[in-house]
Structure 1
Amino acid sequence: MVSGTHGPEGYCGAAGQLAFLQARFHEGLPSSAAVLCIYALNCYGFAWDRRVNAEGCDLNRNFIDFSQRTRESGL
């Protein structure tokens, strides 16, 4: 579970993660499953209530699709 990708939504996302853990929902998962909680993926955006990170990158929209050809890879 990830919260804080866009910064400001990290508050309700973190509350959702806490509710999940407090309700002990993870205990109902099969032993082969695991849950990783990432509290604030975009720490800068969370701290400053910004959608972008410190470099001005929107982590949800600015990404490289490595399955596609890129100029850098020459593939």
Structure 2
Amino acid sequence: MTNVTEGGEVTGTKDKNYDLIWFAEQCLSNALRMETYRADAERAGDQELAELFGKAQHESAKGAELAKGLLARRLNQS
């Protein structure tokens, strides 16, 4: 069995903090991607698909806001 250690020993950042930052970045990146997909669907005249991408964009932005809020609270506690 291998000995698994927290990656923070290598990076200087605890894994849970890195995970939170990564999650926020991925949500923001996805929100931007969904805007492109939504616009593509609208140009193609597919309103149903555009609405799906719009909803996904909203949920991704919501996830990013939640992550940013949690990160801010944790940074203020440091």
When normalised by structure 2's length, the TM-score is 0.36
Q: Which has the higher contact order (CA 8 A, sep 6+)?
A: 1
Larger radius of gyration: 2
Give the helix-richer structure, 1 or 2.
2
When normalised by structure 1's length, the TM-score is 0.37
